[in-house]
């Protein structure tokens, strides 16, 4: 019955410890249990309330509020505390870690923690970043499914034992996520570009309309889309960008260069038109299903007439026919109607949805 037994292989791990039982940590714990990847899952969190809730929800088998000798029994330790608490947590637990235990984390910036672990002499450490989340935090909203199909970046260093990396990769795959391996600095440059820089740009734009009643009154549509990320949790966002300020500064430099080029093109209308066309091509090729590894773009645009609750009418018609709407976006909506973009699963869904809606009297434009 042990993991070593070739005849009947047991779970991947005997005793897994999840340190920091929030949305991500709780989801990892649930994944480990529901997918039978660990015989025992222990929750470690400074907050007794969180641990009580985690036990009540069946997220963990056993709980601890601090590290100690008991940690030596763990062959998997997942550090899932908030960014700013990660390094202190690592320092607290390091003395008690079993040298053969696989240790990983789920922070959204990777350079710092990898270096910290090397300083602490934790050999079997593989830094990781599951690119999943939810606007609802906390263990209450933890779900094993949160990690399914999510991109989970693993960032080994020159000192990372291959055995540890392959075990971490197996763990990620067994949790239903898609492992992507790259060096820590490559990961940090990547998130700086697609996440931290956009946040800062969005914040800068938002500040430009702050305390100007007229501006913020007229700022709608595109401006709201552009500044949505500025609406996230201020502390978490702040911690993220500060932790990654090195890579972020480089991204800012490249961003400024792009802006300067576009500003120069204001005097070269043909150049600017080409830039606008390339921008549209690139934007339209981005995946529409959030946090999905596979680019997926099966759209149906529906014109909605001047009658109440047409969004309901559209989704009812499709729901009745069993067509699954994966994403929905209001392109323009007013009392007089407008247009809705539906993100569907397959080209077939687009075809049947189009037929259904046309029969229901809607004007549609497909894009499989």
Write out the binding residues for its own copies, residues 102-141 only, by CB under 8 A.
131, 133-136, 141
Question: How far apart (Å, rounded) are the C-alpha atoms in residues 95 and 120?
Answer: 9
Question: How far apart (Å, rounded) are the C-alpha atoms in residues 341 and 331?
Answer: 7
CB of 173 to its own copies, least distance (A): 17
* C-beta closer to its own copies: residue 48 or 319: 319
Question: How far apart (Å, rounded) are the C-alpha atoms in residues 178 and 152?
Answer: 6
- Contact residue for its own copies among 3, 36, 218, 355 (CB under 8 A): 218
Burial of 86 (0-12, 13-18, 19+ CB in 10 A): buried
- Contact residue for its own copies among 3, 36, 194, 355 (CB under 8 A): 194
* C-beta closer to its own copies: residue 165 or 251: 251
Write out the binding residues for its own copies, residues 298-327 only, by CB under 8 A.
301, 303, 306, 308-309, 311-313, 315-316, 318-319, 322-327
Q: Is 1 in the site for its own copies (CB under 8 A)?
A: no
Q: Is 206 in the site for its own copies (CB under 8 A)?
A: yes
Estimate to the nearest angstrom the gap between the alpha carbon of 314 and the chain centroid. Answer: 29
DSSP of 243-285 = HTHHHHHHHHHHHHHHHHHHHHHTT-HHHHHHHHHHHHHHHHT
Contact pattern for its own copies over residues 41 through 80, marking x by CB under 8 A: ----------------------------------------
Question: How far apart (Å, rounded) are the C-alpha atoms in residues 251 and 247?
Answer: 6
Q: Is 226 in the site for its own copies (CB under 8 A)?
A: yes
**Count of C-beta atoms within a 10 Å radius of residue 308:** 9
Question: How far apart (Å, rounded) are the C-alpha atoms in residues 192 and 186?
Answer: 10
- Contact residue for its own copies among 118, 148, 185, 250 (CB under 8 A): 148
CB of 77 to its own copies, least distance (A): 26
> Is 223 within 8 Å of 277 (Cβ atoms)?
no
- Contact residue for its own copies among 157, 238, 351, 360 (CB under 8 A): 238
Of 11-19, 52-60, 107-115, 145-153, which segment contacts its own copies by CB under 8 A? 145-153
Q: Is 203 in the site for its own copies (CB under 8 A)?
A: yes
| Residues in a beta bridge with 41 | 16
In terms of DSSP H, where are the helices of 148-244? 162-174, 184-191, 197-209, 213-218, 222-227, 234-243
Q: Is 282 in the site for its own copies (CB under 8 A)?
A: yes
Size, binding site for its own copies by CB under 8 A: 122
Q: Is 332 in the site for its own copies (CB under 8 A)?
A: yes
- Contact residue for its own copies among 85, 288, 356, 360 (CB under 8 A): 288
């Amino acid at each position: 019955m042990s993991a070593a037994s070739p005849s009947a292989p047991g779970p991947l791990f005997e005793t897994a410890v999840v340190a920091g039982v929030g949305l991500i940590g709780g989801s990892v714990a649930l994944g480990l249990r529901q997918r039978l990847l660990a015989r025992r899952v222990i929750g470690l969190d400074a907050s007794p309330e969180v641990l009580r809730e985690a036990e009540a929800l069946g997220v963990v088998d056993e709980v601890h509020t601090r590290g100690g000798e008991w940690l030596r029994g763990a062959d998997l330790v997942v550090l899932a505390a908030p960014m700013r608490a990660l390094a202190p947590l690592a320092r607290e637990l390091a003395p008690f870690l079993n040298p053969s235990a696989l240790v990983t984390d789920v922070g959204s910036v990777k350079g710092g923690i990898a270096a910290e672990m090397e300083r602490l002499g934790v050999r079997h450490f593989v830094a990781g970043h599951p690119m999943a989340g939810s606007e609802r935090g906390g263990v209450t909203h933890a779900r094993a499914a949160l990690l399914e199909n999510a991109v989970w970046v693993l960032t080994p260093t020159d000192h990372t034992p291959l055995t540890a990396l392959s075990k971490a990769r197996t763990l990620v795959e067994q949790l239903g996520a898609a492992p992507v391996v790259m060096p820590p600095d490559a990961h940090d440059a990547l998130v700086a570009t697609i996440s931290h820089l956009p946040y800062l740009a969005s914040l800068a734009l938002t500040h430009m309309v702050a305390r100007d009643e007229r501006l913020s009154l007229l700022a709608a549509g595109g401006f709201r889309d552009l500044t949505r990320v500025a609406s996230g949790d201020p502390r978490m966002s702040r911690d993220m960008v500060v932790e990654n300020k090195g890579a972020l500064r480089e991204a800012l430099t490249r961003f400024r260069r792009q802006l300067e080029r576009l500003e120069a093109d204001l005097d070269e209308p043909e150049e600017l038109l080409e830039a606008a066309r390339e921008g549209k091509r690139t934007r339209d090729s981005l995946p529409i299903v959030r946090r999905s590894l596979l680019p997926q773009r099966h759209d149906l645009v529906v014109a909605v007439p001047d009658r109440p609750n047409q969004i309901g009418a559209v989704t009812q018609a499709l729901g009745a026919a069993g067509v699954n709407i994966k994403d929905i976006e209001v392109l323009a909506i007013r009392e007089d109607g407008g247009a809705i973009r539906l993100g569907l699963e397959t080209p077939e869904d687009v075809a049947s949805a189009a037929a259904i809606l046309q029969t229901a009297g809607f004007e549609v434009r497909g894009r499989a």
